[in-house]
Amino acid sequence: MICEILHCIQKRYLMNSEIFFKSPVRLVKVGALSCFLALSCCVSANQCLMASDNSKSDVISKSDQVKQKSDKAAQESSDKSDKSDKKEGDKKDAKSADKGKEKEAPAKPEPVIENVVNVQPDDLVDKPHEYLGKNVKFTALFSGFNTLALDYKPAMRPAKTHLSIMVYRSKKNKIPLSELKLAMFTPPEKDPETTLLAGLKEGDTLEITGKVFSAALDDPWVDILRLKKIGGSTDDKKADASGKAKINDTKATDPKNDKGNGSKSESESKTPAKN
């Protein structure tokens, strides 16, 4: 390419003037000029090649940097996911260990109540001053919840922290014993006593252990220390009895039993009587 360019230049100079043929000095100058032009073209070509190589290397280096950054980002994300998985696994293990401990943990023993006197509810109502400051224990039928034992200043038990229970006078005489004030500290939501209180029905037999803390208005005011349900209501007994009766009725009316009895009678009729 360069030789062709030089050849064209020489032709132009030779065609435009006849001086080049007459003066050898000027011919030398033209040759030198053509050499100079050839060298400059070579240098520019080399510079272009170098620039293209540099641009290619820059592009390659930039692509390598992008790949390295993407690889680092992928590694960091994978490390974070591994760490999060490990944390979740550790949390699950800790929760399972806590649940295992809760299951293995024995039930809390009931507090010991000393010097308990067994009484009847009527005796408490008749002689409240004799039992003042003593621990008493009695059984009665559950009547319902009320507010008689709450927010009375001489025997203060606030309604915000306590609840009040009423019982019947006796099993035969289902009249509420309003003279007997029974107050109880409201248990927490997850406490077993909360489920016990929520499931109480009218007529359930309760065993109450408490302390007579006041005899205001000549009535016994008792703090319930322990509450147990030892018997269901008559409605529950009736429901159980009706369920058993239904089961017996279904057994009696079962066609399978009739078929069995019929087959037995047929076999007996077929067998001849022995003389």
pLDDT at 10: 58
pLDDT at 119: 96
pLDDT at 268: 47
What is 220-235 written as a DSSP string? -EEEEEEEEEEE--HH
C-alpha triplet 25, 31, 36: angle, nearest 5°: 125
The CA distance from 274 to 270, in Å, is 12
pLDDT at 245: 58
CB atoms within 10 A of CB 152: 16
* Token duo for residue 237: 């007994």
pLDDT at 84: 66
What 8-state DSSP symbol labels residue 140?
E
pTM for the structure as a whole: 0.51
Domain boundaries, the chain: 2-72, 116-236
Three-state DSSP at 133 gives coil
Tell me the residue type at 102.
E
Q: How does pLDDT run along the chain (275 residues), one tens digit per residue? A: 555 665 665 565 555 544 444 455 454 454 555 566 666 655 565 665 566 556 556 656 666 777 777 777 777 777 766 666 666 666 666 666 555 554 544 555 677 889 999 999 999 999 999 999 999 999 999 999 999 999 999 999 999 999 999 999 988 888 999 999 999 999 999 999 999 999 999 999 999 999 999 999 999 999 999 999 998 876 555 555 555 555 566 555 555 555 445 444 444 444 444 44
Whole-number Cα distances in Å, 67 to 40, 86, 173: 40, 28, 91
pLDDT at 104: 45
pLDDT at 71: 76
pLDDT at 72: 73
* Token duo for residue 53: 């190589």
pLDDT at 164: 97
The architecture that CATH gives domain 116-236 is: Beta Barrel (2.40)
pLDDT at 248: 60
pLDDT at 232: 82
